[in-house]
């Protein structure tokens, strides 16, 4: 069985990693990196620390608007997949890389597996929402992380090709957690355990308009404690292009590797984010999360009381809400367990 993994963005490298531990899978696997994320801290770092083999193909497609970026990926992927003729293509999540991989596979009649299927924000202004809807409809097998996601797929008549597997990031975390517990990454930044906030921001609606970004940073600065902010390149570009001055409590650093990030997350007071993956990791690590968005695909984390949605555009003085938000007593399982094994078993059964 020959599998082609199509990846390109930071969270996809993290989701690919558990499969790379399965040596029997790797014997006949190709990894195609579209190049969507390309900085050392957004790409190579993850391949190195998570022992992901060098990509067989690196497409270097990292510029342009959505159409241009996706179009270039389609052209390059089509010729590669036609040459390699894998039995399956596996795509993850909801980026432009996901969309391109799924589209090429379905046009070439190569079965596509979409991992992290069924997520919906019901906000079509997000590029990810378009990508995931299309990917779910054209893929052949949908690996679904949560019951809510499965319900979403049922409503779109896609349940016959859906498998509730749990979330692959459970296994990504499990791979690293022992080593992470031995680290004290926060001390590198002169921070102490449970005494700082951790912040990540990269959604276009929060960062592309410098005035929005300044408003968010100014509000968060009122929390009073130090806020460590490993800054996404998209966000850094806006900060630099507009010479935004960073408020004094916010410590801006380059994006960090997965081990360091999980250590920083495990030891922070609260995490403030607009990331998808980070909301899940916070839940799994039993860490309070504040999501600076008006909606989330990971609705169970909100319903369980561990994740507070705060729309930074309709809330005033929301630093008070962030301060007061406390965890509940219960922590029901949401994301499943032993996920890679379940996925591999399904793939083997399809093959057989």
Q: Is residue 145 involved in binding ligand UDP (CB under 6 A)?
A: no
Give the separation between CA 150 and CA 141, rounded to whole angstroms: 13
Q: Which does 234 bind (CB under 5 to 8 A by kind): ligand UDP, ligand UD1, none?
A: ligand UD1
Contact 342, 166 (CB under 8 A): yes
Q: Is residue 11 involved in binding ligand UD1 (CB under 6 A)?
A: yes
What is the phi/psi pair of residue 238, to 5°? -65, -40
Q: Is residue 96 involved in binding ligand UD1 (CB under 6 A)?
A: yes
Q: Is residue 298 involved in binding ligand UDP (CB under 6 A)?
A: no
Contact 289, 198 (CB under 8 A): no
Q: Is residue 305 involved in binding ligand UD1 (CB under 6 A)?
A: no
Among 3, 6, 10, 158, binds ligand UDP (CB under 6 A): 10
Q: Is residue 116 involved in binding ligand UD1 (CB under 6 A)?
A: no
Nearer to ligand UD1, 100 or 334 (CB): 100
Q: Is residue 8 involved in binding ligand UDP (CB under 6 A)?
A: no
Give the separation between CA 272 and CA 233, rounded to whole angstroms: 18
Give the separation between CA 144 and CA 292, rounded to whole angstroms: 25
Q: How far is CA 214 from CA 23, 207, 225, 313, in A?
A: 47, 9, 18, 12
* Candidate segments 116-124, 178-186, 204-212, 270-278, binder of ligand UDP by CB under 6 A: 270-278
Give the separation between CA 267 and CA 191, rounded to whole angstroms: 10
- The one catalytic residue among 33, 37, 114, 202: 202
State yes or no: is 202 an active-site residue.
yes
Minimum CB–partner distance for residue 301 and ligand UD1 (Å): 17
**Interior angle at CA 290, CA 286 and CA 291, nearest 5:** 115
Active site residues: 202
For binding to ligand UD1 (CB under 6 A), which residues are involved?
9-11, 36-39, 42, 62, 94-96, 127-128, 202, 233-234, 237
């Amino acid at each position: 069985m020959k599998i082609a993994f199509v990846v390109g963005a930071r969270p996809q490298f993290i989701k690919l990693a558990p499969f790379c531990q399965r040596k029997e899978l790797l014997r006949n696997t190709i990894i195609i990196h579209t190049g969507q994320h390309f900085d050392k801290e957004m790409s190579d770092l993850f391949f190195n620390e998570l022992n992901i083999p060098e990509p067989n193909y690196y497409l270097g497609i990292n510029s342009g608007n959505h159409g241009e970026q996706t179009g270039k990926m389609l052209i390059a992927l089509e010729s590669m997949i036609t040459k390699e003729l894998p039995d399956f293509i596996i795509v993850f999540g909801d980026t432009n890389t996901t969309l391109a991989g799924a589209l090429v596979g379905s046009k070439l009649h190569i079965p596509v597996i979409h991992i992290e299927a069924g997520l919906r924000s019901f906000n079509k202004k997000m590029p990810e929402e378009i990508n995931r809807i299309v990917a779910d409809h054209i893929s052949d097998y949908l690996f679904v992380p949560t019951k809510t996601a499965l319900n979403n797929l049922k409503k779109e008549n896609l349940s016959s090709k859906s498998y509730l597997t749990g979330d692959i990031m459970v296994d990504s975390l499990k791979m690293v957690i022992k080593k992470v517990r031995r680290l004290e990454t926060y001390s590198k930044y002169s921070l102490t355990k449970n005494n700082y906030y951790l912040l990540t921001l990269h959604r276009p609606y929060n960062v592309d308009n410098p005035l929005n970004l300044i408003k968010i940073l100014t509000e968060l600065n009122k929390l009073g404690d130090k806020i460590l902010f490993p800054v996404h390149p998209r966000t850094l570009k806006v900060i630099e292009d507009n010479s935004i001055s960073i408020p004094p409590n916010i410590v801006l650093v380059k994006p960090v590797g997965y081990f360091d990030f999980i250590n920083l997350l495990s030891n922070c007071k609260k995490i403030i984010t607009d990331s998808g993956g980070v909301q899940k990791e916070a839940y799994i690590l039993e860490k309070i999360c504040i999501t600076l968005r008006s909606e989330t695909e990971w609705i169970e984390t909100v319903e369980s009381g561990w994740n507070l949605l705060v729309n930074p555009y309709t809330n005033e003085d929301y630093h008070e809400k962030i301060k007061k938000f406390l965890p509940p007593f219960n922590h029901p399982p949401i994301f499943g367990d032993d996920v890679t094994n379940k996925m591999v078993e399904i793939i083997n059964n399809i093959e057989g």
